[in-house]
A and B are shown apart, each in its own frame.
Chain A
Amino acid sequence: SQTIHQWPATLVQPVGSPLSLECTVEGTSNPNLYWYRQAAGRGLQLLFYSVGIGQISSEVPQNLSASRPQDRQFILSSKKLLLSDSGFYLCAWRIRIGQAGPLHFGNGTRLTVT
Protein backbone atom coordinates (compact mmCIF):
# COMPACT_ATOMS: atom_id res chain seq x y z
CA SER A 1 0.00 0.00 0.00
CA GLN A 2 1.03 3.60 -0.50
CA THR A 3 2.30 5.80 2.32
CA ILE A 4 3.41 9.39 2.51
CA HIS A 5 5.97 10.70 4.97
CA GLN A 6 6.56 14.28 6.00
CA TRP A 7 9.15 15.62 8.36
CA PRO A 8 9.68 17.23 10.70
CA ALA A 9 6.32 17.20 12.46
CA THR A 10 6.94 20.53 14.18
CA LEU A 11 9.49 23.25 13.60
CA VAL A 12 10.24 26.57 15.25
CA GLN A 13 12.48 28.85 13.22
CA PRO A 14 13.59 32.49 13.61
CA VAL A 15 12.73 35.11 11.03
CA GLY A 16 15.36 35.21 8.29
CA SER A 17 16.47 31.61 8.70
CA PRO A 18 16.28 29.05 5.87
CA LEU A 19 13.70 26.29 5.61
CA SER A 20 13.62 22.81 4.15
CA LEU A 21 10.63 20.49 4.49
CA GLU A 22 10.73 17.06 2.94
CA CYS A 23 8.03 14.72 1.72
CA THR A 24 8.42 11.23 0.31
CA VAL A 25 5.91 8.76 -1.04
CA GLU A 26 6.28 4.98 -0.93
CA GLY A 27 4.46 2.23 -2.77
CA THR A 28 3.72 4.04 -6.01
CA SER A 29 5.52 5.43 -9.04
CA ASN A 30 5.11 8.67 -10.97
CA PRO A 31 2.76 10.32 -8.48
CA ASN A 32 1.54 13.87 -8.77
CA LEU A 33 2.77 15.77 -5.70
CA TYR A 34 1.42 18.86 -3.97
CA TRP A 35 2.30 21.32 -1.21
CA TYR A 36 -0.53 23.05 0.64
CA ARG A 37 -0.40 25.54 3.50
CA GLN A 38 -3.05 26.01 6.13
CA ALA A 39 -2.96 29.15 8.25
CA ALA A 40 -4.49 28.87 11.74
CA GLY A 41 -8.24 28.37 11.46
CA ARG A 42 -8.18 28.74 7.70
CA GLY A 43 -8.56 26.68 4.55
CA LEU A 44 -5.94 24.88 2.50
CA GLN A 45 -4.01 27.01 0.04
CA LEU A 46 -2.25 25.26 -2.83
CA LEU A 47 1.37 26.39 -3.03
CA PHE A 48 3.04 24.11 -5.58
CA TYR A 49 2.37 20.97 -7.54
CA SER A 50 4.50 18.65 -9.63
CA VAL A 51 3.59 16.16 -12.33
CA GLY A 52 7.13 14.81 -12.74
CA ILE A 53 10.79 15.08 -11.77
CA GLY A 54 12.00 18.66 -12.11
CA GLN A 55 8.53 19.90 -13.09
CA ILE A 56 7.20 22.44 -10.61
CA SER A 57 4.16 24.69 -10.95
CA SER A 58 3.69 27.58 -8.56
CA GLU A 59 0.20 28.68 -7.66
CA VAL A 60 0.87 31.87 -5.70
CA PRO A 61 3.80 34.29 -5.60
CA GLN A 62 5.57 33.92 -2.28
CA ASN A 63 8.72 33.52 -0.32
CA LEU A 64 8.88 29.78 -0.91
CA SER A 65 10.15 27.40 -3.59
CA ALA A 66 9.73 23.71 -4.32
CA SER A 67 11.86 21.05 -5.92
CA ARG A 68 11.40 17.45 -6.98
CA PRO A 69 14.85 15.88 -7.26
CA GLN A 70 13.52 12.32 -7.38
CA ASP A 71 10.27 10.73 -8.52
CA ARG A 72 8.81 10.30 -5.03
CA GLN A 73 10.50 13.19 -3.22
CA PHE A 74 9.12 16.70 -2.90
CA ILE A 75 10.92 19.47 -1.02
CA LEU A 76 9.65 22.86 0.12
CA SER A 77 12.28 25.51 0.78
CA SER A 78 12.85 29.09 1.71
CA LYS A 79 16.06 31.11 1.85
CA LYS A 80 14.74 33.55 4.45
CA LEU A 81 11.60 32.89 6.47
CA LEU A 82 9.03 35.60 7.18
CA LEU A 83 6.59 35.71 10.10
CA SER A 84 3.78 35.19 7.59
CA ASP A 85 5.27 31.82 6.61
CA SER A 86 3.97 30.30 9.84
CA GLY A 87 1.35 27.63 9.30
CA PHE A 88 0.57 23.97 8.85
CA TYR A 89 2.27 22.60 5.72
CA LEU A 90 0.74 19.57 4.10
CA CYS A 91 2.22 17.43 1.37
CA ALA A 92 -0.16 15.34 -0.74
CA TRP A 93 0.03 12.84 -3.57
CA ARG A 94 -2.27 11.23 -6.08
CA ILE A 95 -2.08 8.66 -8.81
CA ARG A 96 -1.16 10.22 -12.13
CA ILE A 97 -4.16 9.55 -14.32
CA GLY A 98 -6.03 11.57 -16.89
CA GLN A 99 -8.76 12.87 -14.62
CA ALA A 100 -9.03 14.59 -11.28
CA GLY A 101 -9.22 12.35 -8.22
CA PRO A 102 -8.61 12.25 -4.46
CA LEU A 103 -5.46 13.63 -2.88
CA HIS A 104 -3.87 11.76 0.01
CA PHE A 105 -2.27 13.96 2.63
CA GLY A 106 0.74 13.47 4.86
CA ASN A 107 0.60 14.24 8.57
CA GLY A 108 1.85 17.77 8.04
CA THR A 109 4.55 20.02 9.47
CA ARG A 110 3.56 22.74 11.91
CA LEU A 111 5.93 25.66 11.30
CA THR A 112 6.20 28.57 13.71
CA VAL A 113 8.36 31.50 12.66
CA THR A 114 9.40 33.65 15.62
Chain B
Amino acid sequence: GQSLEQPSEVTAVEGAIVQINCTYQTSGFYGLSWYQQHDGGAPTFLSYNALDGLEETGRFSSFLSRSDSYGYLLLQELQMKDSASYFCAAESGNMLTFGGGTRLMVKP
Protein backbone atom coordinates (compact mmCIF):
# COMPACT_ATOMS: atom_id res chain seq x y z
CA GLY B 1 0.00 0.00 0.00
CA GLN B 2 0.89 3.64 -0.04
CA SER B 3 1.15 5.95 2.94
CA LEU B 4 2.47 9.46 3.48
CA GLU B 5 2.89 11.19 6.81
CA GLN B 6 3.05 14.92 7.37
CA PRO B 7 2.34 17.14 10.39
CA SER B 8 -1.28 18.17 10.71
CA GLU B 9 -0.63 21.79 11.58
CA VAL B 10 2.17 24.36 11.54
CA THR B 11 2.11 27.98 12.70
CA ALA B 12 4.61 30.67 11.72
CA VAL B 13 4.86 34.46 11.61
CA GLU B 14 4.87 36.65 8.56
CA GLY B 15 8.33 36.95 7.03
CA ALA B 16 9.62 33.76 8.61
CA ILE B 17 10.71 30.47 7.04
CA VAL B 18 8.78 27.24 7.57
CA GLN B 19 9.53 23.66 6.61
CA ILE B 20 6.81 21.04 6.11
CA ASN B 21 8.10 17.47 6.24
CA CYS B 22 6.75 14.42 4.50
CA THR B 23 7.76 10.79 4.90
CA TYR B 24 6.42 8.17 2.56
CA GLN B 25 6.11 4.45 2.09
CA THR B 26 5.09 3.60 -1.44
CA SER B 27 5.70 0.87 -3.94
CA GLY B 28 6.86 1.86 -7.39
CA PHE B 29 7.77 5.36 -6.17
CA TYR B 30 8.54 7.74 -9.00
CA GLY B 31 8.57 11.19 -7.43
CA LEU B 32 7.10 13.54 -4.83
CA SER B 33 4.80 16.45 -5.58
CA TRP B 34 3.50 19.27 -3.40
CA TYR B 35 0.09 20.91 -3.70
CA GLN B 36 -1.42 23.95 -2.01
CA GLN B 37 -5.10 24.25 -1.14
CA HIS B 38 -6.81 27.33 0.24
CA ASP B 39 -10.01 26.88 2.21
CA GLY B 40 -12.88 26.19 -0.15
CA GLY B 41 -10.58 25.91 -3.14
CA ALA B 42 -9.04 23.24 -5.30
CA PRO B 43 -5.53 21.84 -4.82
CA THR B 44 -2.97 23.54 -7.03
CA PHE B 45 0.44 22.23 -8.03
CA LEU B 46 3.53 23.75 -6.41
CA SER B 47 6.51 21.56 -7.19
CA TYR B 48 7.82 18.13 -8.07
CA ASN B 49 10.99 16.17 -7.23
CA ALA B 50 12.02 13.00 -8.98
CA LEU B 51 15.71 13.17 -8.09
CA ASP B 52 17.42 13.75 -4.75
CA GLY B 53 18.10 17.34 -3.93
CA LEU B 54 16.51 20.74 -3.80
CA GLU B 55 14.20 22.31 -6.39
CA GLU B 56 13.61 26.05 -6.05
CA THR B 57 10.63 27.93 -7.40
CA GLY B 58 10.59 31.50 -6.15
CA ARG B 59 9.85 31.59 -2.42
CA PHE B 60 9.08 27.88 -2.38
CA SER B 61 11.63 25.06 -2.46
CA SER B 62 11.14 21.33 -2.28
CA PHE B 63 13.62 18.66 -1.25
CA LEU B 64 13.72 14.91 -1.75
CA SER B 65 15.86 12.13 -0.30
CA ARG B 66 14.90 8.84 -1.93
CA SER B 67 17.18 6.82 0.34
CA ASP B 68 15.38 8.22 3.41
CA SER B 69 11.88 8.19 1.82
CA TYR B 70 11.65 11.78 2.95
CA GLY B 71 10.92 15.15 1.50
CA TYR B 72 10.06 18.64 2.60
CA LEU B 73 8.57 21.86 1.35
CA LEU B 74 10.33 25.05 2.40
CA LEU B 75 8.45 28.31 2.32
CA GLN B 76 10.47 31.50 2.71
CA GLU B 77 9.44 35.11 3.41
CA LEU B 78 6.05 33.93 4.54
CA GLN B 79 3.07 36.04 3.58
CA MET B 80 -0.44 36.00 4.99
CA LYS B 81 -1.69 34.58 1.69
CA ASP B 82 0.44 31.47 2.29
CA SER B 83 -2.05 30.40 4.97
CA ALA B 84 -3.42 27.23 3.42
CA SER B 85 -3.16 23.44 3.54
CA TYR B 86 -0.17 21.80 1.91
CA PHE B 87 -0.18 18.23 0.66
CA CYS B 88 2.67 15.99 -0.34
CA ALA B 89 1.77 13.41 -2.97
CA ALA B 90 3.74 10.36 -4.08
CA GLU B 91 3.67 9.51 -7.75
CA SER B 92 3.51 5.84 -8.65
CA GLY B 93 2.84 5.02 -12.26
CA ASN B 94 0.53 7.81 -13.38
CA MET B 95 -1.21 7.95 -10.02
CA LEU B 96 -0.86 10.34 -7.07
CA THR B 97 -1.36 9.26 -3.46
CA PHE B 98 -1.76 12.18 -1.07
CA GLY B 99 -0.74 12.71 2.51
CA GLY B 100 -3.26 13.97 5.03
CA GLY B 101 -2.19 17.59 4.58
CA THR B 102 -0.52 20.21 6.77
CA ARG B 103 -2.50 23.28 7.69
CA LEU B 104 -0.19 26.30 7.74
CA MET B 105 -1.31 29.34 9.68
CA VAL B 106 0.69 32.52 9.12
CA LYS B 107 0.32 35.13 11.84
CA PRO B 108 1.19 38.82 11.59
A-B interaction: no
Which residues of A come within 8 Å of B, CB atoms? Answer: none
